[in-house]
Chain A
Amino acid sequence: MSTPGDVARQVMWNRLISVVEEQAQALVRTAFSTSVREAGDLSAGVYDDRGLMMAQAVTGTPGHVNAMAESVGHFIRRIGRENMFEGDVYITNNPWEGTGHLHDITVVTPAFRQGRLVGFFACTAHVVDVGGRGFGADGASVYEEGIHIPIMKLAERGTMNATLIAMVRGNVREADQVVGDIHALATCNGIGLRRLAEMMDEFAMADLSDIAAYIFENSRRATLERIAALPRESAASEMVIDGFATPITLRVALEVRQDRILCDFAGTSGTDPRGINVPLVYTKAYACYALKCAVAPEIPNNAASLAPFEVTAPEHSIVNAVHPAPVALRHVIGHMIPDAVFGALDLILPGVVPAEGAGSLCNFQVSLRPVVAGQGARAEVLTFNSGGAGARPAFDGLNATAFPSGVMTMPIEATEHTGPVIIWRKELRPDSAGAGQYRGGLGQVMEVGAAEGYQFDFSAMFDRVGHPARGRRGGAGGAPTTIARSDGTAMQGKGRQAVPPGKRVLLAFPGGGGYGDPEARDKALIRRDLARGYISAEAAQADYGMGADEVGEVLDAVARGEWTE
C-alpha cells in the first residue's frame, strides 16, 4: 500500500541516485588521467553510517561494484569511528581492501550532520601509474607492482596530508597526473557531501536510517522475487583461457536456491606466478554483475540487491589470490568471469545469455623514452580498447564494444596529446566475428608506434590468443588475438616487451562467438555484412554458403552505390 510517505521516500531514493551521478560527473570533469576523464574508469557511491552501499553511479566499471561496496567497511574498521571528524578524507589503493589492484585509488569521505556521522561517500579511479615495474603483468609479487597506500587519512579536519602527497609524488611516474587525480577524487566526494546536505535540509532528515531501510527492503524484495522465479537447479561449466605462461581453467558451479544464487569457483586454476591474479572482491564483482544482467538487470546496485548473490572461491586459486600475490592485471582474468558464469547459467536458463566474447578489455600501456637520453621527455600512455562481444539469442554481437567492462576508449587524438605515441590504425577487423544465425561482434585492429626520436616498451595485457571466444548453439568461434612487430617478429600476449626505434606493433583484437547455426542466418543480413565489409567474399562463401555469383552481385552493387544501409 502506497502512502504519501512512501512517495517521499521514492523521491529521496531517486535523489540519492542523482547525487551519486553528480559525484561521478565531478570526477570526470576534474580528473587528469585519460583512463578517468576520457574512458570513465571510475565509480562513485553513497553509504549509510554502517558502511552499507545505498546507491551507486552507473559508470564504466562493474568491477568496482561489490569491491567498492565492501571497501567502506574496511575503512570504518581501520580508521575507527572515534577517529572520524568533519573535513576528513580517507584513501587507499590496497588491492584486497580497495578494488583489486594498486592502480585503483579509493577515496572515502565521512558525511556529518550536526556533528553526527550519518554516512559515507566513496569513489574509485584507475590512475596512470603507481611506480614499481609499471602497469603490466611482470611482477612476481605485489611489492613489485608499485607504491602501496594502506588505509589512512588523506586529509584530517580539512588539512591535506602533505607527507602522503610527497611520498606519492616521489614514487610514481607522471606525478602530476596521479596527484591531480587524487585531488579529483576528493573533489568528487566533496560534491556528494554538498548535495547530500541540501537533500537532508529539504526533506528535514536527521539521518539516513529511514531511507536506507526503505531502499534495502524494496531492493531485497524485488531481487528475491526474480530469484524465486528461476528454476531451482544446479549446473557447472568450464572455460579455458590463455593465462601468462600456462593456460588457466575457470570452473563455475551455480546453484539456484529459493532466496539466493550460489556461485562457486572450486576447480579453478591456482594462483599464477605473474600479475594476473584476482583478489576475491573483484571476482565477486564480475560474477555478480553477470548474474545481475541475466536475472535482475533493472534493480539498482546496493547492499541489499547484491546480497542474494553469494560468490565463493578457494583461497590461492587465481580468482581468490592472497597477499602478496601479484595482481596488477587482475582485470584480464576478471573480465573473463562473466563468460565463465554464463556457460553455467545457460544450462539453467537457456536462451538468455550471449555466446562468449572478447571478454577482457584489450588494453596496453606504452612507456616511451627518447632514443638519445636527454633529448625529450619520458611518457606513460595507457589505452583501453575492445574486441567483439558475443552474439545474443536474438541479436548480433556488438562490434568493438566492451563487455563486461563498460569503459570507453580514449579518442586517439587525446591519447596522442599525452605523449610521443602515434596510433596509426584503429578500425574494425573484418572476418573476426564468429559466424552464426546471429553473428558475433567484430574485433578491431590497431597499429602503434613512437614519434621520431623515441622508442618504447610495450606492455601487453591481452587474452584469447590461444583460446578464442566459443560460439553457442552451433555458432562458430570468434577470431583469436594476434600481436606482432611490424618487422614480423612475434610478440607475447602478456608482458612488457621492447620495441626497437622505427618499429611498430600490429594488433588484432578478438571477435565474439556466434549464436545458432550459420545456415539459419537471414540472407539479407549476410549480404549486408558483405556489402559493409564485415565479412569478406571468401567468408561469405565458406561460412555462410553464399554463391560466387551472389557475392559478385553484392560487390558490384556496392561499387555502383546501390547499397545504402
Chain B
Amino acid sequence: MTGSRVRLGVDIGGTFTDVVLDMPSGMVSTKVLTTHGAPEDGILVGLKQVCAKADIEPGAIDQIIHGTTLATNALIERRGAKTALITTEGFRDVIEMRTESRFEQYDLNLVLPEPLLPRQSRFTVAGRIDAQGRELVPMDRGEIAAVVDAIAAAGYRSVAVGLIHSYLNPEHERLVREVLAERLPEASVSLSSDVSPQMREYERFNTTVANAYIKPLMHSYLMRLKGRLAEEGTGCPVFLMHSGGGIISLESAAEFPVRLVESGPAGGAVFAADLARRHRLDRVLSFDMGGTTAKICLIRGGTPKTARVFEVARSYRFKKGSGMPISIPVIDMVEIGAGGGSLAHTDALRQIRVGPESAGSEPGPACYGRGGERPAVTDADLVLGKLDPAEFAGGSFTLDRAASEQALTAYLGDAIGGDAETLAFGVAEVVDETMANAARVHAVENGEDLADYTMIAFGGAAPLHAARLCEKLGIARMLVPQGAGVGSAIGFLKAPFSFEATRSVYMRLSAFDGGAVRDLLTDLQAEATAFVRTCDAEAPIEAEFKAHMRYAGQGWEVPVILSPEDAADPDPERLRALFEDVYARLFDRTVEGMDVEVTVWAVDARTPVAAIEPVCPCPEGGIARADGTRALFDQAQGRRNSAAILRRETLEPGQGADGPAVITEAETTVIVPASRRARALPDGTIELTPKEDRA
C-alpha cells in the first residue's frame, strides 16, 4: 500500500460504475453506465477511459480495488444459485420461522418476506452438539450420504451447512463437508462455522444460506473479471472491499461473497474516514445522501464504527426486522429511505411523511418534467431556493419550479393547508428530522453524544440538507469534501488490508484462565496476520485485540479494546475495569455484585491505513465575491432571505462568506443557512461553522 504505485478503484453501483485511477501525479475518474448482464464489461470501458485520460497503458496498473452492489442486489432480487441447506434434525425451518414475530404490530395484512430457500430445499440429518460444545448425538456418515445423494439428484449447485451449536464445535459440519466432497464434488459448499461462527441459529444459518446462495454467481463473476483483465493486459492483483471497510483477496471474496454486502457504502465511510484523518478529526458523523437512501455512520479516531450484524433487503419501508439478518463484520451504518427522489405524502393524522418510496430517475421528481406528478424532496428543495433550476446536474436540464409547486399543492395541500412554500418547508423539515432522528438513535445505540462531532457530507443530495441536520443535532462543524460524487471508489483506495479473526469462547472473569486466553489471542493474531500477508507481502501489520463482554446473564455484549500488553498478559481485574468503564459510558451506571463474562474474542489484523497529508490550518482569506443573489428559505428561521451565490471553483483557500448563501458546483449545491458561515480549506473542502464561533 505505498503511494508510488498506480492503483485503480472501481465501484459498481445500481446505475453507475465509478472508476478512479490514482497515480503519483494525481487522480483521474470517470462514471460509466453499469452493464448488468456482464458487469466486467463496464469496468473495462471505464478502465480504458481513465487510462486514456491519464495517458497510460492498462498494463501499468499495479493494483485494483473493487467494491460492488452485485452481492447485495443478488440477495434483494433473489437471483442466486439453486441452493440447498443441510441442518440439524428438528430445525428444518429456522430460516423460515425467523423470530416468530411481526415487525409491524398493527398491520393485520402483514406479509413476511419469504426465506431465501423454500422448505423443500432444506434437508436435515441427525446428530447434536450441546451448549458446551460436546457431542450429544453422533452423526451417521451413511445418513449424510443419503441426504447428499438426494441433493445431487435434485441438481443443487450450492449447499449451505448450518448445524446447532456449530460455532462452539465445527466437527459435525466438517464431516458433512467431507461427504459432500466425496459424493458431490462440483457443488459449492458454505459451512456456518466458517462463514459466521456466532451464537443465535437464525442469524448464523441465514448468513450461511445467503453466502451459499450468491457464491456461484459471485465466484463466476470474479473469475471472469480476473480473466478479462488479464486479456486486456492488466494482470495485476485484484482485491475486494468488504462490508467491514477492509480489503480481501479476490479468492477470499469468491469463498465468502456475503462479506461483500454493502461494500459500496462501506467505501463511502472509508472515504469520510480518510478526510477525517487529514483534518485531524477524532469524532465524525458521515452523512451520505443520494437519490433513494441516506447512510449515516460514526467515525471515531479516523476509523468507522463496526458492528457484527447487518440487515439486508428490508422489504417493508426499510423497517427494522423486515429484512434478513447477515452476521458479518460490517461498517455500522443506518440506511433510511430518504433521498432526493423520496416522495412526500400525508398520513391519517394529516401529517407530512417522506419516503421510503422514491421517484428514482424515471419518472423522477415532478420538477424533472419527465412525467413525475408526486412531490419529492428535490421538489421541496427547488421551491425553497436550494436549487437553481437552470444549473441542476451541471445544467444538463432545466428544473420546472411550477411543476414542483403544483405537485406539492395537489398532493399535500388538502390535508395540510398553506401555500407551496409552507408545504415545501414541511417536507424539508420532515425529511431532515427523519435523518436527524436516525443519526440520534444510531449515536445512542453506540453510546455517543453528537454534540462534539464534525459532520462530513457527500453524495449528491447531502450538501443541500447537511447544515440543517447540523442545526438539529447541535453539530457545530461540517465539511463537504471534493470528489464527493465518486466518494466510494476513492474510499476503496484509502482502505487498509484487514481481516478480523473471531472465536466464541465463553469465559467468566470469576473462572478466568489467563494462559488459555493468551494462547487463543496468539492463535487469532497468527490467523488474521497470515491472511493479510497473502494480500501484501511487505507492509507492516498491526493487530487490534477485542473482547466482547457483558454481565453474566445478559444477552448483548459491548466490545472492549485490549492493549497488546493486556493481550500478552490477560488479567481478569483489568478486563473488569475496562468493561465497566465502557458500560458506564454507554448506560450511565454499572451493576454491582455481578460476574462479568467474555463471549467472543477477536483480533483484527490490518496494514496501516494509507499515509495522509494533513491539511494545514488555513488563514482567513477574506470574503468571497458573490455571483449574484437568490431567495433562499431558511428552515431554522421559518422565512425567506436573500442569499449570496458563490461558485465553488472560484473560491480561494481561506475565502468564505456568511450565510445565507449557496455554493454551487456541477454535481451539487452547498446550502449555507443564516446560522452558519462557510469557507474554503486548502484541500478544496468547504467548511461550515456557526457564525458566533468565528475565531
Known contacts A176-B553, A385-B100, A414-B200; decide if A25 and B445 are in contact (CB<8 Å): yes
Chain B, 80-113, contact with A by CB distance < 8 Å: what is the 0/1 string? 0010000001111110110111100111111110
Q: Answer whether residue A219 sits at the interface, using C-beta atoms and an 8 A cutoff.
A: yes
Q: Answer whether residue B563 sits at the interface, using C-beta atoms and an 8 A cutoff.
A: no
Kindly list chain B residues whose C-beta atoms are within 8 Å of the C-beta of A427. 90-94, 97
| B-contacting residues, A1-43, CB 8 Å | 1-4, 7, 10-11, 14-15, 18, 21-22, 25-26, 28-32, 34, 37-38, 40
Q: How far is the CA of A2 from the CA of B93 in the complex (A)?
A: 50
Choose among A37, A194, A398 the residue that contacts B102 (Cβ–Cβ < 8 A): A398
Give the A-B contact count at a CB cut-off of 8 A.
Answer: 234
| B-contacting residues, A418-446, CB 8 Å | 422, 424-428, 444
Kindly list chain A residues whose C-beta atoms are within 8 Å of the C-beta of B202. 411
Minimal Cβ-Cβ distance residue in A for B425: A7
Q: Answer whether residue A486 sits at the interface, using C-beta atoms and an 8 A cutoff.
A: no
Interface contact A30-B90, CB-CB below 8 Å: no
Interface contact B130-A451, CB-CB below 8 Å: yes
Known contacts A426-B90, A532-B118, A564-B82; decide if A413 and B131 are in contact (CB<8 Å): yes
Counting chain B CB atoms within 10 Å of each CB, the highest count among A190, A225, A408 belongs to A408
Known contacts A408-B99, A413-B164; decide if A422 and B429 are in contact (CB<8 Å): no
Interface contact A403-B554, CB-CB below 8 Å: no
Q: How far is the CA of A411 from the CA of B555 in the complex (A)?
A: 11
Kindly list chain B residues whose C-beta atoms are within 8 Å of the C-beta of A14. 430, 433-434, 437
Interface contact A416-B109, CB-CB below 8 Å: no
Kindly list chain A residues whose C-beta atoms are within 8 Å of the C-beta of B352. 10
Q: Closest Cβ of chain B: how far from A32's Cβ, in Å?
A: 4
What DSSP secondary structure best describes chain B's contact surface?
loop
Q: How far is the CA of A301 from the CA of B594 in the complex (A)?
A: 37
Minimal Cβ-Cβ distance residue in B for A407: B101
Choose among B99, B130, B587 the residue that contacts A191 (Cβ–Cβ < 8 A): B587
Known contacts A21-B441, A401-B102, A426-B90; decide if A297 and B108 are in contact (CB<8 Å): yes
Interface contact B199-A413, CB-CB below 8 Å: yes
Stretch from B152-160, B301-309, B665-673 that touches the partner? B152-160
Kindly list chain A residues whose C-beta atoms are within 8 Å of the C-beta of B589. 183, 186-187, 190
Interface contact B93-A428, CB-CB below 8 Å: yes
Q: How far is the CA of A293 from the CA of B423 in the complex (A)?
A: 30
Q: How far is the CA of A560 from the CA of B433 in the complex (A)?
A: 53
Q: Closest Cβ of chain B: how far from A155's Cβ, in Å?
A: 11
Q: Answer whether residue B552 sits at the interface, using C-beta atoms and an 8 A cutoff.
A: yes
Interface contact A293-B106, CB-CB below 8 Å: yes
Q: Size band of the A side of the interface?
A: 35 or more
Kindly list chain A residues whose C-beta atoms are within 8 Å of the C-beta of B24. none
Chain B, 283-311, contact with A by CB distance < 8 Å: what is the 0/1 string? 00000000000000000000000000000
Q: Answer whether residue B422 sits at the interface, using C-beta atoms and an 8 A cutoff.
A: yes
Q: Answer whether residue A77 sits at the interface, using C-beta atoms and an 8 A cutoff.
A: no
Interface contact B555-A37, CB-CB below 8 Å: yes
Kindly list chain B residues whose C-beta atoms are within 8 Å of the C-beta of A30. 554, 556, 587
Q: Closest Cβ of chain B: how far from A288's Cβ, in Å?
A: 12
Kindly list chain B residues whose C-beta atoms are within 8 Å of the C-beta of A394. 109
Q: Answer whether residue B329 sits at the interface, using C-beta atoms and an 8 A cutoff.
A: no
Q: Answer whether residue A565 sits at the interface, using C-beta atoms and an 8 A cutoff.
A: yes
| A-contacting residues, B110-154, CB 8 Å | 110-112, 114, 118-121, 128, 130-131, 136, 150, 153-154
Interface contact B594-A386, CB-CB below 8 Å: no
Q: How far is the CA of A400 from the CA of B98 in the complex (A)?
A: 9
Kindly list chain B residues whose C-beta atoms are within 8 Å of the C-beta of A62. 105
Known contacts A14-B437, A187-B587, A428-B93; decide if A29 and B118 are in contact (CB<8 Å): no
Minimal Cβ-Cβ distance residue in A for B422: A2
Kindly list chain B residues whose C-beta atoms are within 8 Å of the C-beta of A384. 100
Q: How far is the CA of A28 from the CA of B586 in the complex (A)?
A: 13
Choose among B130, B441, B551 the residue that contacts A22 (Cβ–Cβ < 8 A): B441
Q: Answer whether residue B245 sits at the interface, using C-beta atoms and an 8 A cutoff.
A: no
Known contacts A32-B551, A180-B591, A183-B589; decide if A531 and B120 are in contact (CB<8 Å): yes
Kindly list chain A residues whose C-beta atoms are within 8 Å of the C-beta of B101. 40, 60, 401-402, 406-409
Q: Answer whether residue A262 sits at the interface, using C-beta atoms and an 8 A cutoff.
A: no
Choose among B91, B200, B423, B474 the residue that contacts A426 (Cβ–Cβ < 8 A): B91
Q: Answer whether residue B314 sits at the interface, using C-beta atoms and an 8 A cutoff.
A: no
Q: Closest Cβ of chain A: how far from B170's Cβ, in Å?
A: 14
Query: Could you name 13 residue pairs across A and B whose Cβ atoms are closer than 8 Å?
Result: A7-B425, A14-B433, A26-B587, A28-B556, A38-B555, A176-B594, A180-B594, A187-B589, A191-B588, A299-B349, A422-B130, A427-B90, A565-B118
List 9 additional contacts besides A22-B441, A402-B101, A534-B119; criterion CB under 8 Å: A22-B444, A190-B589, A218-B351, A354-B108, A395-B111, A401-B102, A406-B101, A412-B91, A417-B131
Give the top 10 A-B pairs by smallest Cβ distance, nearest first: A561-B154, A425-B90, A37-B555, A4-B638, A297-B106, A408-B99, A416-B131, A532-B119, A409-B100, A1-B417
A-binding residues in B (CB < 8 A): 82, 89-94, 96-97, 99-102, 105-112, 114, 118-121, 128, 130-131, 136, 150, 153-156, 164-165, 199-202, 347-352, 416-418, 422-423, 425-426, 429-430, 433-434, 437, 440-441, 444-445, 472, 474, 506, 551-556, 586-589, 591, 594-595, 638
